[in-house]
Chain A
Amino acid sequence: MSFRIAPSPHGHVQRATSDVMRWVVLALLPGVIVQLVFFGWGVLFQLVLAISTAYVCEALCVQARDRAAWPVLKDNTALVTASLLALSIPPLTPWWVIVIGVIFAIVVVKHVYGGVGQNIFNPAMAGYVLLLVSFPVQMTSWLPPMQLSQYSLGLWDSLHVILFEFTPDGYSVEQLRTSVDGITMATPLDSAKTDLSLGYTASEALQKPIFSDFAGLGWQWLNLAYLAGGLLLIKLRIISWHIPLGLLLGLCVPALLQVAFAPDTSIGPLIHALSGATMLGAFFIATDPVSAATSNRGRLYFGLLIGVLVFLIRTWGGYPDAIAFAVLLANMCVPVIDKYTKPTAYGHRRES
């Protein structure tokens, strides 16, 4: 028996990028299924569109950069980017929106910076911000969850809306968004933000039918599903717990303080944590291994920063949800975070 002496690091789990990324996609599945249940078939078409566009872009970019195409295509990073972007946009958005977003994410944010492992910004979120800034109407047209919706959309109806912006019966997305009583439905965060800005107290704002369950109809189960997938990733040690925990703390602690000191203006930590893209952001988006901080302490600060930014923008900013902006802002801070959280090597004294 021979003892091979290998240099450090002595890692025992040797996962290739493609394995890591495949697990991330698998862990997304519970959330995808819940999203399908509550928001209809549109989600599926967005995923198909995004993933196929991503692979085409990836192949063209690799070709243009004179690299071997196969290793890049099979490392599944484009799959993750495309899935995250497709899951963050409203399910019935016209097809060209997701195509433009994915092209920007893959070509400009990923390959112009040098491809896998070189991008300083999270590609999916940069694509999302491009879309949100450019097409605000389409990007905020979320449908109400199925049980509040007046119309039920079949497979063919959804595809027709995505391709031609109308159902075969001639309903536009704007009409589909109306609920049973004829009022256009907003997402829980959007509805709460609008009501608070109109001078209602928080308890009045939470009377809306969208809040008839504990944290926003549909959205709560969606977030719980992403939470489950995220916990699986932590269990498998695909991601570390530092970023999600930091993010949730950074979001919920200020929300708790707000409940304590200004209860009328606060929708509370539970709704903050289980609404919008919180869980998707905490476990899947912010944990992007490339654009996040690298040391464990740095990751905690990185997560905290995102959480606090999300809270600030949701409470006082111009947008109802803020994961994308917060992630991009925190990406910019990563070099600073890394500089000040560099771990001390064993045997060296901490500089002070």
Chain B
Amino acid sequence: MNEYKNLTLQGLWHNNPALVQLLGLCPLLAVTATVTNAMGLGFATLLVLVGSNVTVSLVRNWVPAEIRIPVFVMIIAAFVTVVQLLMNAYLYGLYQALGIFIPLIVTNCAIIGRAEAYASKNPAPQAAFDGLMMGLGFTLVLMVLGGMREIIGNGTLFDGAELLLGNWATSLRIELFSVDYPLLLAILPPGAFIGMGFLIALKNVIDRRREARQHQPAKEVTRARVTAQ
């Protein structure tokens, strides 16, 4: 299989950072109360992941193995600072909504995990692509979880999208149903844990179905009637 196709499959499905590796759960659970927040944090993580993967891959031959972790962390921290300052400058509303979880991207194990497991052993183009796919996989899970929690908790989708996409995005807001009393549990952290559990279960079910379909024994053609000669 082509290396890039393999990376895509790994990042989006088979080795998805959120659903399979279960890395970076802290931001995943903390900021997914709405799709907008989830998307904002997902893209921030994606940018950091691509940047750090490329840089780590470029310097991999000069970094002694003994001190590689501190070096990787410094690289990641530098990119997080860049992203944080950019968001502060251009997406101030979202910056305030995400709060401490932007600087906390540094501690997202998914990023240092990719730096250590892939980028430090592979050339830059592949590393960049790996970062992109892992970041996309992470962002998609964040968005699905955010969507679930927003629908169940508030009955809306894309509430506050203008914080991320500019003023035209106010028209994106969809009100599926209006509730007098929101189901607070879905918006609070326990809802994130329960939703995450269901997403992982769903992925396992899909995997098992597919496996069962592939391993179906080939139908043996048996003779309907065997008569003695």
- Which A positions have Cβ atoms within 8 angstroms of B? 100, 108, 130, 133-138
Question: By the criterion CB–CB under 8 Å, are B190 and A133 in contact?
Answer: yes
Q: Which of A130, A133, A135 contacts B181 (CB 8 A)?
A: A135
Contact B194 A133 (CB under 8 A): no
Q: Residues of B contacting A137 with CB < 8 Å?
A: 181
- Contact bitstring B178-217, A, C-beta under 8 A = 1, else 0: 0001111110101000100000000000000000000000
In the complex, what residue of chain A is closest to B197 when comparing beta carbons?
A: A112
A134 touches B194 (CB 8 A): no
Q: In the complex the two chains form, what is the Cα distance from A233 to B194 in whole Å?
A: 35
Nearest Cβ distance between residue A90 and chain B, in whole angstroms?
14
Which chain A residue shows the least CB distance to B182? A134
Residues of B146-194 contacting chain A, CB below 8 A: 181-186, 188, 190, 194
* Beyond known contacts A134-B185, A137-B181: 9 more, CB 8 A cutoff: A108-B194, A130-B185, A133-B184, A133-B185, A133-B188, A133-B190, A134-B181, A135-B184, A138-B181
- Give the complex CA separation of A199 and B26 in angstroms: 39
A240–B218 Cα gap in the complex (Å)? 56
Tell me the bound Cα distance from A108 to B193 in angstroms.
13
In the bound complex, how far is the Cα of B135 from the Cα of A154, in angstroms?
60
For the complex formed, measure the closest distance between the CB of B145 and the CB atoms of chain A, giving whole angstroms.
16
Number of interface residues of B (CB under 8 A): 9
Task: Please give, as numbers and ranges, the residues of chain A lying within 8 Å of B188 by CB-CB distance.
Answer: 133
Q: Give complex CA distance A320, B194 in Å.
A: 26
Most buried by B among A130, A134, A136: A134
> CA of A130 to CA of B188 in the docked complex: distance in angstroms?
11
Which residues from chain B contact A138 at a C-beta distance below 8 Å? Answer: 181
Q: How far is the CB of A127 from chain B (nearest CB, A)?
A: 11
Residues of A within 8 Å of B185, CB to CB, are 130, 133-134
- A96: nearest chain-B partner, CB-CB: B181
Chain B: CB-nearest residue to A137: B181
In the A-B complex, the 6 residue pairs with the closest CB atoms: A134-B185, A134-B184, A134-B183, A133-B185, A130-B185, A135-B181
- Report A-chain residues with C-beta under 8 Å of the C-beta of B184: 133-136
Roughly how many angstroms separate A134 CA and B182 CA in the complex, as a whole number?
A: 7
**Which residues of chain A are near B186, meaning CB under 8 Å?**
134
A108 vs B188: C-alpha distance when bound (angstroms): 17
Q: Which residue of B lies closest to A100 (CB)?
A: B183
Complex Cα distance, B181 from A136, in Å, reads 10
- For B51-86 the 0/1 string (1 means CB < 8 A from A) is 000000000000000000000000000000000000
Output the least CB separation between B35 and chain A (Å).
20
Report the bound CA distance from A134 to B153 in whole Å.
9
B118 CB to closest chain A CB (Å) equals: 35
Instruction: Return chain B residues, CB-CB under 8 Å to A108.
Output: 194
For residue B181, which residues in chain A have a CB less than 8 angstroms away from its CB? 134-135, 137-138
A195 vs B185: C-alpha distance when bound (angstroms):
29
In the assembled complex, 18 residue pairs joining A and B whose CB atoms fall closer than 8 Å, in A order, are A100-B183, A108-B194, A130-B185, A133-B184, A133-B185, A133-B188, A133-B190, A134-B181, A134-B182, A134-B183, A134-B184, A134-B185, A134-B186, A135-B181, A135-B184, A136-B184, A137-B181, A138-B181
Chain A: minimal CB distance from B220 (Å) = 27
CB distance from B102 to the nearest CB of A (A): 28
- Closest chain-A Cβ to B9's Cβ sits at a distance in Å of 29
Closest to A135 in B: B181
The residues of B that contact A134 with a CB separation of less than 8 Å are: 181-186
Separation in Å of the A31 CB from the closest CB of chain B? 28
By beta carbon, the residue of chain A nearest B153 is A134
With a cutoff of 8 Å between Cβ atoms, the chain B residues found around residue A130 in the complex are 185
| Nearest CB of A to B94, in Å | 27
The distance in angstroms between the C-alpha atoms of A108 and B190, with both chains bound, is 13
User: How long is the Cα–Cα vector from A255 to B190 in the complex, in angstroms?
Assistant: 31
Least CB distance, A328 to chain B, in whole angstroms:
11
Q: Which residue of B lies closest to A138 (CB)?
A: B181
Q: In the complex, A136 Cα to B188 Cα: how many Å? A: 13
Residue from B181, B182, B186, B190 with most neighbouring chain A CB atoms (10 Å): B181
Give Cα distance in the complex from A134 to B186, angstroms: 8
Q: Give Cα distance in the complex from A108 to B191, angstroms.
A: 12
In the bound complex, residues from chain B placing their C-beta under 8 Å from that of A136 are 184
Q: How far is the CA of A136 from the CA of B186 in the complex (A)?
A: 14
Within 36-52 of B, Cβ neighbours of A (below 8 Å) are at none
